[in-house]
Structure formats: structure tokens, C-alpha cells
Amino acid sequence: MTSRTTNPLMNAYGTPPSKTGEVSTNVRKFMWKLLHDTHKCRSYWFKIANLSERGMCIKCTTPETMQHIIFNCEANQCKMVMEHCTCNLCQENIDWPLGLDITTIMSLPLINIRLERGKVCTGATRLIRTIISECTFLMWKLRCKRLLDVDPETPEKQSPHKKQGTKHLK
């Protein structure tokens, strides 16, 4: 069964996606969770009674989908981060992909930059994959920091494991 799964991936990616070396381990884990819809956002939080408000973006008052977190949320400074990524690619004369959305992020290993002759430019391809994946992961980390890092003055928003850890201090 493994060989049947590996061969199509080898054909599509050229090398197994987990061994490309283009992105860090944390980004690969993030991308895996993105593909399998296991990130803790929206519906995950709606299932937990005391934490259901985390399923909605406080600033934008919309459900926190991955599309919203990565591309639309003002609190995550998405536009600023994307502009920096675009500038980095422009300095290398690489065009930013048009219509970039969450499905494009999920299929990122399939993106290739080709020269005029049709040959894949491996350096430019690696750069665009790395910049877009790291940029996406950065916005996820910004969202998690904003959501989960709580000021000590607001104990009602602390996660349950933080509350349990401080019981012995009282």
C-alpha cells in the first residue's frame, strides 16, 4: 500500500514532499494540518462550550477559517506581510501568483516557475515555495499568539491548563 501512495506523490512532486528540504519541519507540520483540516480554528472551538468565542475573529466578527486567518484578517496584518513577500519576490524578478488563496497554499509543492524555454527554474521555484509557506506559517503564528497569549489581568480568558497550573500557588 505504501508504494502505491508514494509513487503518485513522486510523480507529482518529483521527490517525496516531506524530503524536499524547501521548508522547515514546523512549516511541513503546519501544511500537513492544513491539508487535513486539523488546525484549531472555527469548528474546533465551536464544539467546546466555554471556548466557543474563539471560533469567531474578535476584530473582524467573522468565523475564523484558514482563508480568513491567512488572507483577510486585519488583526494578523495579512496585507502587510503579503506586501513584504511580494517585494522579496519582485527583487528577484519573480511574479507573485495571481489569485493566491488557501487552496493554492495547499497545493504549493506543485507550483513551478518556468523559464521562457519551458524549463523549470529550480532556484526561483524553491524561493517562491519557501517565501509563501513561511509567510503563511507566520500569519498562523501571529493568530495563535494573539488568541492564546492572554494578559494576566484577564484570568477568565486563560486556557484551562493554565488555570490548573496556578492552583497550588493560592
User: What is the domain partition of the chain in residue ranges?
Assistant: 7-148
CB 57 within 8 A of CB 68: yes
Alpha helix (H) ranges present in the chain?
2-13, 25-35, 43-46, 66-67, 78-91, 102-106, 122-148, 160-165
Cβ burial, residue 73 (10 Å; 0-12/13-18/19+): buried
How many of the other CB atoms lie within 10 Å of CB of 166? 10
Nearest to 113 by CA among 104, 105, 123, 103: 123
- What is the per-residue pLDDT across 102-143, written as a single tens digit (0 to 9) for each? 988 988 888 888 888 889 888 888 889 999 999 999 999 988
pLDDT tens profile 26-57: 888 898 888 888 888 877 888 888 888 778 88
Nearest to 20 by CA among 104, 112, 153: 112
